[in-house]
């Protein structure tokens, strides 16, 4: 029964649920935003009505996705105050500025120029329309930057100090706080993943049309754009993912130990799959490359790394209770993410080869099916990646990172709103599940309809804009 009245746990569940849901749609809209902008640039050059139809098709899907992303994003901004009042008091001096900057610099840009995309085809010049498409995408990448600055600061605090009373983190240097030790690795890693998501979503649409034998020209063009974006972003991911892993190695030892299931200090091996037995504190895996993780992080096979039990003895991580840590969840999330990357790379290579060499994909039904199913891989990778990042820093909400200023850390359990009861949380949790479920069904219906309709070439659109 205790769990039913645990405000901290319920608040975490609500935040996890709403942020995971929000992060279904944001990756799609940022990823598809690029596909849309590329399409519109093609139209700007060609002025062919079918290219205009392609842009319009993507604008419709983008807008439906963007709308739900915006709507569920408001939840996130409000939730710091509604459910994490003590967190807000602790970090307000630093954390609020990026949120305000995100709204000022990014949200206004995105929303205003999306208005142009939606309603302005006949009202603005073709050039202005194309620039608007790029500005919407640029705005969404900028918004990702600000929110990841905020999130990365919670992972690796910098440019701050604890106030004299020990109740608040106070900013000492804006640039150090904004460009904290993990921001570059985490920003590139995240945004690149979103581009993969967009490319694979476009692949799926193109693959579906190929299977149905419809919109052949559009399907082939889309498949090629998606193949190029897909392969470039998937290859770049090797660099970005590696940088992120090295950053965790250097800054967040407890997270790294959870990712690899290391309870005791060891030279970390590399597992492809495995199970963490939290009782006996062991990893059960069919095979392992000895020192593999050590090699990936440091370049040699012999670097020893502290385990959770050792880390719990230190002053820095002393607040951690090893038995309560969700090691299995973090281990599995991390390894599923890596496995998904294997599938992503494989799909990207196959689609690239067969989209360009004589467009053979048009006759390969199995590859068309693979393209239709392909968004599942980045989708699962993105969700499990975030679980790794967010659950991996528990039990802290502001993590006591290796290079972080002394004392600037906060336990998740100390971050809640004292004035919110578990009853209120149950009410809002139920409402979130209900409303978000209806939104999801509504989104599937609308986007499904748009895809069924396909791009519609307007009669008389040939002369337009010339």
Q: Show the tokens assigned to 71.
A: 């709507």
Instruction: Please select the residue that binds other proteins; options are 7, 17, 19, 124, rule is CB under 8 A.
Output: 124
* 424 sits near other proteins (criterion: CB under 8 A): yes
* 266 sits near other proteins (criterion: CB under 8 A): no
Segment lying near other proteins (by CB under 8 A), choices 27-35, 389-397, 405-413, 414-422? 414-422
* 265 sits near other proteins (criterion: CB under 8 A): no
Size of the site for other proteins (CB under 8 A): 72
- 239/431 with CB nearer other proteins: 431
Instruction: Please select the residue that binds other proteins; options are 2, 165, 321, 419, rule is CB under 8 A.
Output: 419
Instruction: Please select the residue that binds other proteins; options are 115, 318, 342, 407, rule is CB under 8 A.
Output: 115
Instruction: Please select the residue that binds other proteins; options are 239, 402, 430, 435, rule is CB under 8 A.
Output: 435
Q: Show the tokens assigned to 51.
A: 């290219």
Residue 368 CA to residue 359 CA, distance in Å, equals 12
* 275 sits near other proteins (criterion: CB under 8 A): no
* 29 sits near other proteins (criterion: CB under 8 A): no
Segment lying near other proteins (by CB under 8 A), choices 262-270, 304-312, 371-379, 439-447? 439-447
Q: Report, in Å, the least distance between residue 68 CB and other proteins.
A: 6
Phi, psi of 179 (to 5 degrees): -95, 60
Binding mask 53-72 for other proteins (x = CB under 8 A): -------x--xx-xxx-xxx
- 78/287 with CB nearer other proteins: 78
* 75 sits near other proteins (criterion: CB under 8 A): yes
Q: Report, in Å, the least distance between residue 215 CB and other proteins.
A: 18
Q: Report, in Å, the least distance between residue 188 CB and other proteins.
A: 23
- 283/425 with CB nearer other proteins: 425
Instruction: Please select the residue that binds other proteins; options are 8, 16, 19, 118, rule is CB under 8 A.
Output: 118
Q: Which of residues 291-320 bind other proteins (CB under 8 A)?
A: none
Residues 145-176: b if buried by 16+ CB within 10 A, e if exposed: bbbbbbbbbbbbbbbbbbeeeeebbebeeeeb
* 88 sits near other proteins (criterion: CB under 8 A): yes
* 418 sits near other proteins (criterion: CB under 8 A): yes
Segment lying near other proteins (by CB under 8 A), choices 26-34, 243-251, 286-294, 421-429? 421-429
Instruction: Please select the residue that binds other proteins; options are 49, 81, 328, 465, rule is CB under 8 A.
Output: 81
Q: Report, in Å, the least distance between residue 19 CB and other proteins.
A: 14
């Amino acid at each position: 029964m205790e769990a039913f009245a645990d405000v901290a746990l319920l608040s975490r569940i609500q935040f996890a649920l709403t942020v995971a849901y929000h992060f279904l749609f944001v990756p799609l809209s940022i990823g598809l935003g690029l596909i849309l902008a590329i399409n519109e640039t093609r139209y700007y050059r060609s002025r062919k009505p079918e290219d205009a139809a392609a842009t319009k098709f993507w604008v419709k899907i983008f807008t439906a996705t963007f709308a739900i992303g915006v709507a569920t994003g408001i939840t996130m901004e409000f939730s710091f105050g509604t459910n994490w009042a003590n967190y807000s008091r602790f970090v307000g001096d630093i954390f609020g500025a990026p949120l305000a900057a995100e709204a000022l610099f990014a949200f206004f840009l995105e929303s205003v120029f999306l208005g142009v995309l939606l309603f302005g085809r006949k009202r603005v010049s073709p050039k202005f329309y194309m620039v608007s498409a790029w500005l919407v995408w640029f705005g969404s990448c900028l918004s990702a930057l600000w929110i990841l600055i905020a999130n990365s600061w919670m992972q690796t605090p910098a440019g701050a100090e604890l106030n004299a009373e020990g109740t608040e983190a106070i900013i000492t240097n804006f640039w150090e706080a904004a460009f904290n030790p993990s921001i570059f690795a985490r920003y590139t890693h995240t945004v690149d993943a979103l581009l993969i998501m967009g490319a694979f979503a476009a692949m799926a649409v193109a693959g579906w049309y190929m299977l149905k034998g419809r919109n052949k020209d559009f399907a082939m063009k889309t498949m090629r754009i998606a193949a190029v974006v897909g392969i470039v972003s998937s290859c770049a991911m090797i660099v970005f993912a590696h940088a992120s892993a090295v950053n965790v190695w250097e800054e967040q030892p407890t997270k790294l130990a959870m990712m690899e299931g290391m309870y005791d200090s060891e030279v970390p091996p590399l597992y492809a799959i495995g199970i963490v037995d939290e009782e006996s504190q062991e990893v059960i895996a069919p095979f392992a490359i000895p020192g593999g993780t050590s090699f990936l992080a440091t370049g040699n096979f012999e670097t020893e790394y502290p385990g959770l039990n050792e880390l719990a003895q230190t002053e820095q991580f002393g607040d951690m209770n090893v038995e309560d840590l969700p090691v299995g969840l973090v281990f599995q999330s991390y390894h599923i993410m890596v496995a998904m990357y294997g599938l992503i790379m494989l799909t990207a290579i196959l689609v690239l080869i067969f989209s360009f060499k004589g467009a053979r994909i048009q006759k390969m039904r199995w590859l068309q099916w693979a393209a239709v199913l392909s968004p599942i891989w980045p989708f699962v990778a993105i969700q499990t990646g975030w679980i790794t990042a967010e659950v991996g820093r528990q039990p802290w909400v502001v993590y006591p990172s290796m290079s972080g200023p002394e004392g600037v850390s906060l336990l998740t359990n100390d971050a809640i709103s004292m004035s919110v009861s578990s009853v209120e949380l149950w009410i809002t949790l139920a409402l979130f599940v209900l409303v978000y479920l209806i939104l999801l069904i509504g989104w599937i219906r609308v986007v499904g309809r748009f895809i069924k309709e396909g791009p519609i070439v307007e009669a008389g659109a040939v002369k337009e804009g010339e």
